[in-house]
Amino acid sequence: MATTSELDRVTMVVLRYMRGPVLVLIIVYAIGITGMALIPGQDAEGNLEYMSLFHAFYFFTYTATTTGFGEIPNGFTDPQRLWAIFCLYLGVVSWLYAIGSIIRLAQNPHFLLALSEHQFAHSVKRIDQPFFIICGFGDTGSLLARGLSDHWLGAVVLDTDPERIKALVLRDYRIKMPALCADPGVPKHLVDAGVKLSHCKAVVILTVDEEVNLRIAVMARFMNPDIPILCRSTSERHSEHLTTLGNVTVINPFEIFAQLLSMAITAPRLHNLNSCLVGNRKARLGRPLDVPTGHWILCGYGRMGHWLHKYFVRNHIRPVIIDPDVGEVAGAAQVIHGHANLNTLKEAGIAHAAGVVAGTDNDHDNLSVLMCVRALRPNAFTILRQNTHENQIAFDAAQAGLILQSSLTTARRILKHLISPQIQIVIDYLREQGEDVTQQVVERLRSAIGDNKPHLWRINLCKAEAFAVAEYIQKNERLTLGELIRNPHDLEKSLSCIAFAIERDGKRIMVPGNDEPLRYCDEILMCGTEHSETMLNATMNNAYTLHYLVTGSDAPRGYLFKWLANA
């Protein structure tokens, strides 16, 4: 059975809803025109004359619009005027019925849904730049859309809550993001969102229901077997199902935060660099957190507490756990059954605690734990779990050492993956190399951008993205990274950026130097300022600027100047 297009659905709803009013208007006008043509009239000399069907139709046309051109082609007889009066009143009633039907049609939810789906599908098909599909526009989806907009990347949004879709329209994004209030798990809606289009680069699934996330992932995989899928999941069972679909990246914010805390303990400089790269507004390059080791208290042993405890044990820290529902926990120094308060914190050894984690699923309880810790041990390092983005102001005022906002952690990790999966490979590489190498990279980056916010982007030295560079390299000319990022306003300086990695023929060159020669179709992960990205993009697509950067001299432009230079 052939599928019905959204335009066909709109037309079908209109025809079905307006069938009665249109039929009434046709019947009324047919009766009026026929009667006017059959009623005898007279011409100027008083001779018997019948009005033609054309003149009758013309008369009813201009009277329906209340224009009032008079009686044509001759003055009416009394029977004609009586019939005209009858038809005019009948026409007014029929038009009121038709107009009322049009108003009700404009308020019909089925018509509005079909119309919005048609407009949505049409706007998605017109996208000619890479984009991503975001399924779920809650806190995480909203933060991710903002991050994509800041990097000039587009997205298409699906969500079942109409209020969230209305809120999206009011956002001041740099790029327009089409949105539809619909179930992302329905294949037709995924197709309308562009899951089969070549410009669609990934599907991001961020609803709050694990079962719904799994269903959307399955549908997306069948709709497009090759498209990358990024899905938030904190359930081990659902994560296993997701990984069987292939090319699925499972994002668990609690595991990610535990990894970041472990990094802050064992590799603080790398943690600081990573925080700056993912857009943590509190982080500053070269100012790592000093997370202490020693005696830790873990308040709450839910999903977050489970992962934190696991990584605490890996770092040889045996925390005391406070939770009313947990049993014995392997690796814990002590388990206290109850809620975190002044008494249980004292029992847990708050007097000599290095740090305290408030990790329950209630923001008010976590803030209360923080107040108790401040009263008993002001110098303790504190970690808070923030469950709702609406409480951001209160948690900012709390000034804890670290704050886990699962939506923000998820959005940052997904954004980092969408910008370039290479950045996580760079982080893993620096973790292996150690803190000294990390410090060298940080110093290079600081010397390039100063105190500016680090900005990540990817370039590909192919003709589609870097026409001038691709042509230059294909002529067997040597071009180094340092020459490419040279500042066209001052050849003694470079642009405010460095290269983190070069991917070439399936291999990677990590943190290359400026003397690294470049090759055709190299994919480079850059880090610098947004202004340097704009300048570099201009250089890569302007042969004269590139020639000037390499040789230090301006090449003649135009036929006349080239002829004079060769004369």
Ranking 66-70, 176-180, 205-209, 244-248 by mean pLDDT, the lowest is 66-70
Q: Do the Cβ atoms of 355 and 296 come closer than 8 Å?
A: yes
pLDDT of 413 > 50? The answer is yes
Which residues are within 8 A (CB) of 533 and not within 5 positions of it... i.e. 6 or more apart?
455, 457, 497, 526
* Tokens at 452, concatenated: 């500016």
- pLDDT of res. 10: 67
CA distance 509 to 525: 10
With a CB cutoff of 8 Å and minimum separation 6, the contacts of 21 are 94, 97, 98, 101, 102
Q: Rounded to an integer, what distance in angstroms lies between the CA atom of residue 341 and that of residue 292?
A: 23
Torsion, Cα 428 432 436 438, to 10 degrees, reads -10
Q: Would you list the DSSP string of 26-45?
A: HHHHHHHHHHHHHSEEE-TT
Span 260-419: which CATH code? 3.40.50.720
Instruction: Give residue-wise pLDDT tens across range 131-182.
Output: 999 999 988 999 999 989 988 889 999 999 988 888 888 888 888 899 999 8
pLDDT in tens, 304-321: 889 999 999 988 889 999
Share of the chain above pLDDT 90, in %: 33
Partners of residue 499 on adjacent β-strands? 526
Q: Token pair of 210, please?
A: 């694990």
Paired with 523 in beta bridges are 460, 503
pLDDT digits (tens, 9 = 90+) for 77-91: 888 888 888 888 888
Which sign does the torsion angle of CA 447, 453, 456, 462 carry?
negative
What integer pLDDT is reported at residue 150 of this predicted model? 87
List pLDDT tens digits, range 127-138: 989 999 999 998
Bridging pattern class, strands 200-205 and 131-135 = parallel
Whether residue 365 contacts residue 307, with contact meaning beta carbons closer than 8 Å, is answered with: no
Listed in order, the ranges of the chain carrying CATH 3.40.50.720 are 126-251, 260-419
The answer to whether 132 and 145 are in contact (CB under 8 A) is no
Tell me the C-alpha distance between 57 and 34, whole Å: 9
Query: Percent of the chain at pLDDT above 70?
Result: 95
Residue listed under structure tokens 């470079």: 494
Residue 549: count of CB within 10 angstroms of its CB: 19
- The CATH number of 126-251 is 3.40.50.720
Secondary element (H or E) of residue 566: helix 558-566
* β-bridge partners, 526: 457, 499
Query: In the numeric block, which tokens belong to residue 152?
Result: 């000039």
Fold of 452-561: Alpha-Beta Plaits (3.30.70)
pLDDT band at 217 (very low <50, low <70, confident <90, very high): very high
Architecture of domain 6-107: Orthogonal Bundle (1.10)
Q: What is the pLDDT of residue 557?
A: 58
Over residues 332-351, the pLDDT tens digits come to 888 899 888 999 999 999 99
pLDDT by residue (tens digit) across 473-504? 888 788 999 999 999 888 888 999 999 999 98
Lookup result for tokens 């980092």: 416
Which residues lie closer than 8 Å to 307 by C-beta, 6 or more apart?
252, 254, 255, 257, 258
Residue 141 is encoded by which pair of tokens? 């989806």
The CATH 3.30.70.1450 portion of the chain extends over 452-561
Q: What is the mean pLDDT of residues 205-232?
A: 92
- Res 251: pLDDT: 92
Q: Which amino acid is it at 52?
A: S
pLDDT tens for each residue of 502-544: 998 888 899 999 899 999 989 999 999 999 999 999 889 888 8
Q: Can you tell me the distance from the alpha carbon of 305 to that of 258, in angstroms, rounded to the nearest whole number?
A: 9
- Tokens of residue 295, six digits: 């005696």
Which of these ranges, 114-118, 126-130, 412-416, has the smallest mean pLDDT?
Answer: 114-118
Q: Determine the pLDDT at residue 546.
A: 87
Return the closest-CA partner of residue 351 out of 376, 383, 318, 375: 376
Contacts of 149 (CB under 8 A, 6+ apart): 171, 173, 174, 175, 177
Residues of the chain with CATH 1.10.287: 6-107
Which of these, 151, 155, 415, lies nearest to 278 by C-alpha position? 415
Is pLDDT at 30 greater than 50 in this prediction?
Answer: yes
What b/e sequence results for 451-467 when a residue is b if at least 16 CB atoms lie within 10 Å of its CB, and e otherwise? eeebbbbbbbbeeebbe
Q: Which residues pair with 231 in a beta bridge?
A: 205, 250
Q: How many CB atoms lie within 10 A of CB 424?
A: 13
Write down how long the chain is. 567
Report whether pLDDT(560) > 70: no
